[in-house]
A and B are shown apart, each in its own frame.
Chain A
Amino acid sequence: MARQRFDSLRRQVDRWLFRVGRPDPTPLVLRQRRIFVLPTPAGLAFAAALMVMLLTSINYNLSLGYALVFLLGGVAFASIVHAFRNLLHLSLRPGRSEPVFAGERARFSILVSNARPTRRPGLRLNAHGAIAAFELAANDTADIALSCPTERRGWMRLGRVVIETTYPLGLIRAWSVLVPDQRCLVYPAPEPFPPPLPEGTADSAGRRPGHAGDDDFAGLRPHQPSDSPRHVAWKTLARGGPMLTKQFAGLVAGEIHLDWDTLPWALGTDARLSRLVAWVLAAERGAQAYSLALPDGITAVDRGPQHTATCLKRLALFGNGASADV
C-alpha cells in the first residue's frame, strides 16, 4: 500500500518536476532543463565543515581562514557546473534487448554518446535498482547494459532511467530522469520438470514420442536467416561452399500439437503457460514441428527459431489483451 502510494507520488514528481511523461523521443539529448543538481551527503558534510571553519575564522579574526573557506567554497561551487557539464548534451538511444524468461535478468542496452571532444568520467545509469557505472571517451559512444530482475511475463518496460554523476568532487550529484521507449519481452518461466511432450498425432503413427526422427538426413537447401545455426552445413561452408541448411526427413513426420485445452483442468493459467513454454522449448530442442493452440487462436504447425519465438511471444502476452499487439 505504502509502496503503491510512493510510486504514484514519484510519477507525479516525475511529471511535474522532471518533465517526464510519455516515453521520450529518440535520440534523447540531455539539455539544461532536464539536468538537476543537489549536494550529496558528502557535499553536505563538506558544507558543514566549511561553515565551522568560517565561524572559527570570524571568531579568531583569521584573514587567511576566510580566504581558505572562500576558496574551497568557490571550488565546490565550480564543481556544480562541472557536474552539470558532465551530463550536458549527452545523447541516449535505446539499444536492443533480447527476450528472457521470467526470473532471469532482462538486459536492456542503452547507447550513450558523447559529442564533445573531451572525456566524460564517472557516469552512472540506474534503472530498477540496477546500476551501471561507465565513462565515455571523447566523441565516443558506449553500449551500456542494464540488467534488471524480471518477475512477470509480458512486456517489461525499462521505464524510469536515471543518469547521474558525482564527478568531479563527489560533493554534488547531477542527474536526469528519462523514460526511453524501450521494452523487453519476458516469456513465462518454463516449468522446471515438465511431463514428456504429448505424442505426435495423425501421420506420425509408429514413431516414439519425443524421439521423432532427428537424424534422418534428407538433403541440403539454401540457408535462410531463420534457420537454426545447429542445422547449418558448416563443413560445406568451411570448404568454401555456399551457406546451406541440412534437412532432416524425420522432422516432417513428428508433428506435435500443443493445446491449452488438453492440459489438466486443475492447472491455473500461469501453470499452463509454464508447461506450454517448457514443451515449446523441448520441441525446439528436439527440432520437432509443433503447433500451439491457445484459447485466443492457433499457431499453425511449423518449426525453427522464428516459429518458437512467435509461440513464446504468444504465451508471454496471453491474456494481456492491450499489449498483445504492441
Chain B
Amino acid sequence: MSDARAPSVVQQLWLLATTTTTLAPHATHLPAWLTAVCASLLGLRVLLSWRRGKVPHQALILLIAVAAGVGVKIDFGHFFGKDPGVALLAVLLCLKLLEGRSTRDIRAAILLSLFLQLGLFFYDQTLAIAGLALTGALLATITLLSLQDENAPPVAQLRTGAVLLAQGLPFMLILFVLFPRVQGPLWGLPADAYSGMSGLSDSMTPGSISQLGLSDAIAFRVEFHGSPPPPTQRYWRGPVLTSFDGRTWRTGRFTTAAEPAYVPAGPAYDYGLTLEPHNQNWLLALDFPPPGVPQARYTSDYRLVANAPVRTRARFNLRAYPTTAVGVDENRDVLTDAVRLPATFNPRSRALARDLATGTPSHDLILARTIEHLRRSDLTYTLNPPLLGTHAIDEFLFDTRRGFCEHFASAFVFVMRAAGVPARVVTGYQGGEINPIDRTLVVRQSDAHAWAEVWLAGRGWTRIDPTAVAAPRRIESGLAAALPEWEALPFMMRPSFSWLRDLRHHWEALSNTWNIWVLGYNPDRQQDLLKRIGFSRPDWRTLGLLLGLSAGILTLLLFIWAFALRQQRDPLDRAWSSFCRKLARHGAARHPWEGPVDYGKRLAMTFPRHAARLKDIAGRYARLRYGSSTDDRHVRDLVQCIRRLNLK
C-alpha cells in the first residue's frame, strides 16, 4: 500500500469539497476568529494546490495548532465540553488538510471531518443539515474511493461513490429503526452539553425577552383537539418572578406538589404539546392544568414542571381550564413577598404609586387607576427599547416611554407593589400562529412574553397584561401587528412576505413530521412501532432477530448483485468457450497462445475420428470472429453445431 505517496490533485479536491461541506455550517456557532482562521487555512491549502507550492514546515503547523488551542482556552475558558471540542476539531482538520502529505493524512482528515459532521448535530439537526450531512458522507466516500482508484475519471468516482452510498442507505434505515435504542446519557455530560438551547430563563432583566423577540426559533407546537381558545386566553405559563433587586426579577420561593392547589373549573381545552428541548423543567402549560399529568409536578405558583429538565423534544397530552380561580386563600408569606421592593430605587415611580393610592384602600380601585395612568402615559411598544440606567422603571415610565413587554410588566408590578397591592411578574409565551397546513399552533421564541398577576381579595391571582394597554394588538394578533411599521421584525413576520409565509408553513409542517419521526425516534417510539407491527412484548431479542433477518436479506441482495454482472459476452464467444471447455474435459485444453485454426489442427490430430468436424468448427469460429461477415444466422449455426458435438 502506498501510504507515503503524495496525494493527487483530484484526491485533494474531493477532500477539500468534503471538509468545506462539513465545516461551512459550523461557522454559525464557532467564534468569529476561529471561523476566520479555518477559512484562511483552507484558502492557503487551495492556493498551495493551485500553485503547487510547498507545504509549510511542520513546526509552523504545530505553532498554529498551539496558538489555536490557547485561543480556544481563552475564548471558552476550558477544554472539556462539546463547544471547545468542536472548535479544536475544526482547527485540527484544517491543519491536517494543510499538511496533506500522504494518503494517510487524507484518511485522517476524512475521519476528523466525520467527527466534525457529528459535532454539527449538537447544534442543529434540521432537515437541511441532514441533507448536508448526506452530501458530506457521499464526498467522504468518494475521497476514500479516489485513494484506491485514482485513475478513474472523477465522474466515474462520483458514480461509484453514489452506488456505495445507495447500497449503504438500506442498512442505515433498518439499523435506525431496529437498532436497540438506549436513552442517553450513558455517563455524565460536560457542563455545556445543553448550552445553545434558547428559551426563557428563570430571571428577567430589561432586554432579556426582547432578545428572544428577534428569534424565529420554535419554542413548542400545540395541537388542539377541538377548537383552540381565543388569542386573549393563550397565555403559556413559564417562570413566575417574585423577587426584585431593582434591576433583575427572579423566581421566588415556591413548593412543588403532586396535586395542584386549585380546583379546575370552567370550559376545558384538550391539546398535545410538543416541546422543543430548553434544558429547563418548566413545561409551559396553558393556564391552568388539571391534576394527573404523568411525570410532572405542580408548583405553588401554578406552573407545571417536569421531573427532569427537557433535553430532548418531548410531547405531553394536556388539558387547560383558563377561567379557573387560583389562590383565593393565598398563603400570607407569599403575599408578603409579593409586595416587597428594594428600598432605594425609582423614587419617581414610588411617588406615582403614592399618588395613585391616596384616598382609597381598595386594591381594585388602585389597579383601575394604575391602568388608566399607563394608558394615558403614551407609552410605545418597541423591540428596540433604549438602554436604561439605575432607576430603570423611572426612566421607562417618565423619560424614554419606549419598552418591550418586560418593561411594561416590570413597571406595572413595581407600581402596584409600591402602592401596597401584591403583584408579581409571569413570563412565558403568548399567542402563537396556527399553521394552516397541519392546523398546529406554532409558538416561537418571538412569542415570549411577560405579564403580571395581581392578587385581589376574593378573586385570587388575576392576570393583568400591561402590554395590552399600550399595544392591545400584541395580544390579539401577535408581535407583527403590535409593533410600529418601521420596526425591524423577524424577517418572515413582515406582512409583505405572505407568500414566503405560506412556503414556511409547508416547510414547518414537514419539519414537524421530521422532528416527531426522525429526531424524536427514541426507545418509546421504537416500542410503539414494534407493537404496531404486531409484536406484543418487544424486547432486545426481538429487535436483534428482526435486525439480523433484515440485514441478512440485504446482504443476500448485495451478493446477488455482486454475482449478477457476469456473463454478458456475445453468443459467439460463449459458444467458443463452451467448445474449448468440452475439449478440455477430453484432455485437449486450448493453450492460451493457440489461435483457433492451430487449435483445430491439433484437435484433428488428437481426435482423428472427428477431425473434419473439429477443424470445421474451429475454422468457422475464426472466420466469424475475425472475418468481415457478421451474419447472425451463421453464428446460430455454429452454436448449434458446437452444442451437438459429441466426442464419444
> Is the Cβ of A53 less than 8 Å from the Cβ of B114?
yes
> Is the Cβ of B562 less than 8 Å from the Cβ of A78?
no
**A73-B129 Cα distance, complex, nearest whole Å:** 20
> Is the Cβ of A67 less than 8 Å from the Cβ of B566?
no
A-facing mask of B481-524, CB < 8 A → 1, else 0? 00000000000000000000000000000000000001111100
* B residues 533-579 touching A (CB-CB < 8 Å): 555, 558-559, 561-563, 565-569
> Is the Cβ of B164 less than 8 Å from the Cβ of A75?
yes
**A111-B592 Cα distance, complex, nearest whole Å:** 9
A169 within 8 A of B: yes
Q: Quick check: which of B55-63, B170-178, B260-268 contacts chain A, the rest being far away? A: B170-178
> Is the Cβ of B141 less than 8 Å from the Cβ of A75?
yes
Given A59-B189, A121-B151, residue A84 in contact with residue B562 (CB < 8 A): yes
**A77-B592 Cα distance, complex, nearest whole Å:** 37
B118 within 8 A of A: yes
B185 within 8 A of A: yes
* A residues 30-87 touching B (CB-CB < 8 Å): 40, 42, 45-46, 49, 52-53, 55-79, 81-82, 84-85
B160 within 8 A of A: yes
> Is the Cβ of B184 less than 8 Å from the Cβ of A58?
yes
> Is the Cβ of B168 less than 8 Å from the Cβ of A74?
yes
CB-CB under 8 A from B592, the residues of chain A are: 27, 93, 95, 111
- Considering residues B121, B130, B518, which has the most beta carbons from chain A within 10 angstroms of its beta carbon? B121
> Is the Cβ of A135 less than 8 Å from the Cβ of B151?
yes
**A322-B164 Cα distance, complex, nearest whole Å:** 53
> Is the Cβ of A81 less than 8 Å from the Cβ of B558?
yes
**A84-B518 Cα distance, complex, nearest whole Å:** 34
> Is the Cβ of B168 less than 8 Å from the Cβ of A168?
no
* B residues 436-493 touching A (CB-CB < 8 Å): none
**CB closest residue in chain A, given B130:** A64
A-facing mask of B170-204, CB < 8 A → 1, else 0? 11100110010011111101000100000000000
Task: Choose among A72, A133, A166 the residue that contacts B114 (Cβ–Cβ < 8 A).
Answer: A72
* B residues 121-142 touching A (CB-CB < 8 Å): 121-122, 125, 129-130, 133-134, 137, 140-141
**CB closest residue in chain B, given A60:** B184
CB-CB under 8 A from A72, the residues of chain B are: 114, 137, 140, 168
B362 within 8 A of A: no
Q: Quick check: which of A8-16, A112-120, A289-297 contacts chain B, the rest being far away? A: A112-120
> Is the Cβ of A59 less than 8 Å from the Cβ of B185?
yes
B115 within 8 A of A: yes
Task: Choose among B130, B151, B311 the residue that contacts A67 (Cβ–Cβ < 8 A).
Answer: B130
B117 within 8 A of A: yes
CB-CB under 8 A from A53, the residues of chain B are: 114-115, 118
Given A65-B118, A75-B137, residue A59 in contact with residue B187 (CB < 8 A): yes
CB-CB under 8 A from B368, the residues of chain A are: none
Task: Choose among B114, B311, B565 the residue that contacts A61 (Cβ–Cβ < 8 A).
Answer: B311
> Is the Cβ of B559 less than 8 Å from the Cβ of A81?
yes
> Is the Cβ of A67 less than 8 Å from the Cβ of B122?
no
B67 within 8 A of A: no
**A311-B358 Cα distance, complex, nearest whole Å:** 135
> Is the Cβ of A70 less than 8 Å from the Cβ of B171?
yes
A170 within 8 A of B: yes
Given A71-B137, A121-B151, residue A58 in contact with residue B182 (CB < 8 A): yes
CB-CB under 8 A from B133, the residues of chain A are: 64, 67-68
* A residues 84-115 touching B (CB-CB < 8 Å): 84-85, 88-89, 93, 95, 111, 115
Interface residues of A: mostly helix, strand, loop or mixed? helix
* B residues 284-320 touching A (CB-CB < 8 Å): 311-312
**A170-B107 Cα distance, complex, nearest whole Å:** 9
- Considering residues A46, A61, A77, A166, which has the most beta carbons from chain B within 10 angstroms of its beta carbon? A61
A122 within 8 A of B: yes
**CB closest residue in chain A, given B312:** A61
> Is the Cβ of B147 less than 8 Å from the Cβ of A71?
no
CB-CB under 8 A from A244, the residues of chain B are: none
Interface residues of B: mostly helix, strand, loop or mixed? helix
CB-CB under 8 A from A59, the residues of chain B are: 184-187, 189
**CB closest residue in chain B, given A75:** B168
B323 within 8 A of A: no
B145 within 8 A of A: yes
> Is the Cβ of A82 less than 8 Å from the Cβ of B164?
yes
B144 within 8 A of A: yes
CB-CB under 8 A from B111, the residues of chain A are: 45-46, 49
B384 within 8 A of A: no
**A166-B150 Cα distance, complex, nearest whole Å:** 13
- Considering residues B149, B179, B561, which has the most beta carbons from chain A within 10 angstroms of its beta carbon? B149
Given A66-B179, A71-B169, A73-B171, residue A56 in contact with residue B118 (CB < 8 A): yes
How many residues on chain B are close to A (CB under 8 Å)?
A: 65
B148 within 8 A of A: yes
> Is the Cβ of A78 less than 8 Å from the Cβ of B122?
no
A201 within 8 A of B: no
> Is the Cβ of B164 less than 8 Å from the Cβ of A169?
yes
**A74-B176 Cα distance, complex, nearest whole Å:** 11
CB distance from A136 to the nearest CB of B (A): 11
A171 within 8 A of B: yes
B343 within 8 A of A: no
**CB closest residue in chain B, given A166:** B148
A279 within 8 A of B: no
> Is the Cβ of B562 less than 8 Å from the Cβ of A64?
no
> Is the Cβ of A88 less than 8 Å from the Cβ of B149?
no
> Is the Cβ of B168 less than 8 Å from the Cβ of A64?
no
CB-CB under 8 A from B172, the residues of chain A are: 67, 70-71, 73-74
A318 within 8 A of B: no
**A56-B182 Cα distance, complex, nearest whole Å:** 12
**CB closest residue in chain B, given A141:** B592
CB distance from A35 to the nearest CB of B (A): 10
**A226-B17 Cα distance, complex, nearest whole Å:** 62
B165 within 8 A of A: yes
> Is the Cβ of B118 less than 8 Å from the Cβ of A70?
no
B74 within 8 A of A: no
CB-CB under 8 A from B167, the residues of chain A are: 74-75, 78, 81
> Is the Cβ of B189 less than 8 Å from the Cβ of A79?
no
**A312-B603 Cα distance, complex, nearest whole Å:** 34
Given A61-B311, A74-B171, residue A171 in contact with residue B149 (CB < 8 A): no
CB-CB under 8 A from B558, the residues of chain A are: 78, 81
B152 within 8 A of A: yes
- Considering residues A72, A73, A167, which has the most beta carbons from chain B within 10 angstroms of its beta carbon? A72
> Is the Cβ of B141 less than 8 Å from the Cβ of A60?
no
A139 within 8 A of B: yes
**A93-B584 Cα distance, complex, nearest whole Å:** 15
CB distance from A125 to the nearest CB of B (A): 14
**CB closest residue in chain B, given A27:** B592
> Is the Cβ of B559 less than 8 Å from the Cβ of A167?
no
CB distance from A110 to the nearest CB of B (A): 11
> Is the Cβ of A67 less than 8 Å from the Cβ of B176?
yes
**CB closest residue in chain B, given A49:** B111
Task: Choose among A27, A55, A74, A76 the residue that contacts B170 (Cβ–Cβ < 8 A).
Answer: A74
> Is the Cβ of B118 less than 8 Å from the Cβ of A57?
yes
CB-CB under 8 A from B1, the residues of chain A are: 40, 166, 170
CB-CB under 8 A from A121, the residues of chain B are: 148-149, 151-152
**A72-B138 Cα distance, complex, nearest whole Å:** 9
Q: Which 10 pairs, one residue from A and one from B, show the smallest C-beta to C-beta distance?
A: A74-B171, A74-B168, A75-B168, A78-B167, A85-B562, A70-B175, A121-B149, A71-B172, A70-B172, A169-B144
| Residues of chain B having any CB pair with chain A under 8 Å | 1-2, 82, 107, 111, 114-115, 117-118, 121-122, 125, 129-130, 133-134, 137, 140-141, 144-145, 147-149, 151-152, 160, 164-165, 167-172, 175-176, 179, 182-187, 189, 193, 311-312, 518-522, 555, 558-559, 561-563, 565-569, 592
Given contacts A66-B179, A78-B167, 17 further A-B contacts (CB under 8 A): A62-B118, A63-B520, A64-B121, A65-B118, A65-B121, A67-B130, A67-B133, A67-B176, A71-B134, A78-B164, A81-B559, A116-B566, A121-B152, A122-B148, A166-B1, A167-B149, A170-B144
The 8 listed contacts between A and B (C-beta, < 8 Å) are A56-B118, A59-B187, A74-B170, A77-B171, A81-B555, A122-B149, A169-B144, A169-B164
